[in-house]
Amino acid sequence: MSARPHQPAIEIRGLHKSFGRIEVLKGIDLDVGHGEVVCVIGPSGSGKSTLLRCVNLLEEPTAGRIRVGGVEVTDPDVDIDTVRRGIGMVFQAFNLFPHLTVLDNLTVAQRRVLRRDRTGAERIAREHLARVGLLEKEAAYPAQLSGGQQQRVAIARSLSMAPQLMLFDEPTSSLDPELVGDVLAVMRGLAEDGMTMMVVTHEMTFARDVADRVVFMDGGGIVEQGPPAEVLSRPRHERTRSFLSRVLDPSHVAGPAAEAGQLIG
Ligand SMILES: Nc1ncnc2c1ncn2[C@@H]1O[C@H](COP(=O)(O)OP(=O)(O)O)[C@@H](O)[C@H]1O
Ligand SMILES: [Mg+2]
């Protein structure tokens, strides 16, 4: 998957996805540049997860074309495993193997999929555990960790596979509020290091501070997109305004989103 210069990291054209007769994505066009951080926001059911899942082929698009690093992943002849290998994905649920230690969680795919030997895999695993601040937990089992620690392990596990881009689907939504910050800090660090990232999130402060671009989705389409200062503070569309007033209303959402209430008005 070598990239030519000036080619986007992700190129999505005319993407449609239906489940049975229900059309969930109704024609998405989106480019993500190398090193760009794109935050995807929008109401529940608007198709955000489906969009992310189409990028790494967890869902098969009904129509349209997706290129990742210049490789057309929607080509029927493409090797799906090779495509997925280059794309890290972190979900709301942490998805760690409960019967494996933290270190083994980080090495199992490196060894099986990338054919790294144990020593090499462990060295890389520890590099990424150190990066997420959890080197001292390498012998722990997932159940012995907090949700925030488990999510940081899940991020480190993805990074151990040397992905060319990372997809995050509401990575902090199932965390207790006091654990959210550590996970967002890791993601912020990744962004600063130039990782290409697509992040579905309701953390408006993170979107404002870290995103290069915010994409607002509603009803299976992109309603508007632009720099966070524009989309979050001066939305052009009524649907965006209405969504933001709901998520930014301190009486509905506490914590960081309430703080982001300063963005509007
Ligand atoms: N596997 C599926 N089968 C049927 N419908 C689905 C499936 N996955 C998602 N949907 C529907 O697609 C719509 C968009 O879902 P989703 O992409 O999860 O939205 P979001 O992440 O924005 O909340 C929802 O109406 C959801 O019920
Ligand atoms: Mg979702």
Residues within 6 Å of ligand 1 by CB: 19, 24, 42, 44-50
Which residue is associated with the tokens 């200062």? 229
* Predicted local confidence at residue 80, as pLDDT: 87
Kind of pairing, strands 63-68 and 165-169?
A: unpaired
State the pLDDT at residue 252: 43
Q: Cβ contacts of residue 230 below 8 Å, gap of 6+?
A: none
| Closest-CA residue to 125 (of 103, 96, 155) | 103
Of 178, 173, 181, 182, residue with least CA distance to 153: 182
- Residue nearest (by alpha carbon) to ligand 1 atom 4: 19
Q: Which of 180, 182, 213, 219 is nearest to 199 (CA)?
A: 213
pTM: 0.91
* Consecutive 10-residue averages of pLDDT for the chain (265 residues): 71 97 97 98 98 95 95 90 91 92 97 95 98 97 96 97 97 93 96 97 96 98 97 96 86 43 41
Q: Which atom of ligand 1 is found nearest the CA of 46?
A: 22
Report which ligand 1 atom has the smallest distance to the Cα of 44: 23
Residue 22, pLDDT score: 96
Supply 236's token pair.
């052009």
**Side chain identity, residue 204:** M
> How remote is the CA of residue 138 from the centroid of ligand 2, in Å?
30
Closest CA to 183 of 217, 151, 226: 151
Candidates 177, 178, 172; CA nearest to 201 is: 172
Residue 94 confidence (pLDDT) = 78
For ion ligand 2, residues whose CB falls within 5 Å: 49
The whole-angstrom separation of Cα 154 and Cα 90 is: 7
Q: Could you tell me how many helices (H) and strands (E) the chain has, helices first? A: 10, 10
Q: Could you tell which of 17, 19, 48, 200 is best to mutate to test the pocket of ligand 1, judged by most ligand atoms within 8 Å of the CB?
A: 19
